[in-house]
Amino acid sequence: MSKVLRAGPPTYGHCRLLVQFLAFAAGLLAALAAPASARALRLVVLGDSLTAGFGVPPGKAFPDQLEAALRARGWRVDVVNAGVSGDTTGDGLARYEWAVPADADALIVELGANDMLRGLPPDETRQALMAIIEKAKAKRLPTLIAGMRAAPNLGAEYDRAFDAIYPALAEAEGAILYPFFLEGVAGDATLNQPDGLHPTVAGVAVVTNRILPYVEDLLRRANS
């Protein structure tokens, strides 16, 4: 008479394997169901030489240091350097369509220093910046405006008109305002290159650390 073999109760090893398999399957399903938004955010910095990285080594420009700082704080973000040395706000507006890709998630506008250095009419600067911001709004692109201040040798009237551009636009357009891009760096010879206008690598680090909380607010808007 043959014996009938019966399976015994599951052992601890069997149970552990089953739990591991179920955990693996759940993780796989979660990965497959992950939304497209799980990709890294794309943050574009539209700017002039202060963005492009004039006079600093490759990989040490503001967008590079900003990306590193954000990633160190847990953000999955790629920061695009759309800076061109010498650009005015009008130049930035003229190249907006190809400088800001369609898959951008957020925008920093760092322009205006060259307008001021050339003594361009503040209203011209305001109009160009407003046009840039409205292009971003049309694409529902959260925007941070990096403010600039006029040099004192341009006269009190020019200073008042120019300095007022950035806070007024930010309020009117619902953008985030960082009041002065070179805060903590302007006028400090130890943080600027010999021209007194462009930050050193250490100066860029100061700019990055100071603007970082504002950029995180911008990315939270992009994620909402």
Domain residue extents for the chain: 37-223
Task: Note the pLDDT of residue 30.
Answer: 39
Q: Which of 49, 51, 48 is nearest to 64 (CA)?
A: 51
**Which one of 1.10.3720.10, 3.40.50.920, 3.40.50.1110, 2.40.40.20 gives the CATH number of domain 37-223?**
3.40.50.1110
Active site residue 198: yes
Question: What order of strands is seen across the sheet that includes strand 41-47?
Answer: 77-83, 41-47, 106-110, 143-146, 176-178
pTM: 0.83
Active site residue 103: no
Q: Which of 48, 49, 115, 163 is catalytic?
A: 49
Summarised one tens digit per residue, pLDDT across range 33-85 is 333 446 899 999 999 999 999 999 999 999 999 999 999 999 999 999 999 99
Active site residue 195: yes
Summarised one tens digit per residue, pLDDT across range 148-190 is 999 999 999 999 999 999 999 999 999 999 999 999 999 999 9
Give the number of residues written for the chain.
Answer: 224
Mean pLDDT to the nearest integer, 96-114: 97
Q: Which of 2, 37, 195, 224 is catalytic?
A: 195
Q: Cα(first)–Cα(last) distance of the chain, in Å?
A: 72
CB within 8 A of 9, min separation 6: which ones?
none
Cα–Cα distances (Å) from 167 to 10, 110, 135, 164, in that order, read 70, 14, 18, 6
